[in-house]
């Protein structure tokens, strides 16, 4: 795993059909294939459903994560102030982030 002091390049790739892969410094470290979906939705039990990625936010029927404008490249910064419930109200509790 990367150390806290090092800078690493992470990426999550979707082939547009049914395979998602996770890369660290140009090396594939995980892959999930065979996701066959009939509509644009990410399904993980009841946690995240009907997911839309648009601009700098990930919006789901149940949750929303706003990607901070200060993030560089593919950085995703999740803090207690940018995780929202489906109604758009901030979670506001660091214990849930």
Q: What per-residue confidence (pLDDT) applies to 17? A: 66
- d(CA 36, CA 9) in angstroms, rounded, equals 28
- d(CA 31, CA 73) in angstroms, rounded, equals 22
**Residue 66 main-chain phi, psi, to 5 deg:** -90, 125
Residues 65 and 59: beta-carbon distance below 8 Å: no
Residues 11-46: pLDDT tens digits? 888 776 677 888 888 888 888 876 554 445 444 444
pLDDT at residue 94 tops 70: no
Domain extents in the chain: 1-36, 38-97
């Amino acid at each position: 795993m990367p150390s806290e002091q090092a800078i690493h390049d992470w990426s999550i790739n979707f082939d547009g059909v049914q395979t998602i892969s996770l890369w660290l410094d140009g090396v594939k470290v995980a892959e999930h294939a065979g996701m066959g979906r009939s509509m644009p939705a990410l399904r993980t039990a009841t946690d995240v459903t009907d997911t839309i990625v648009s601009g700098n936010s990930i919006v789901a029927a149940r949750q929303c994560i706003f990607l901070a404008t200060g993030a560089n490249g593919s950085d995703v910064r999740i803090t207690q102030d940018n995780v929202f419930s489906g109604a758009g109200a901030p979670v506001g509790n660091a214990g849930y982030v």
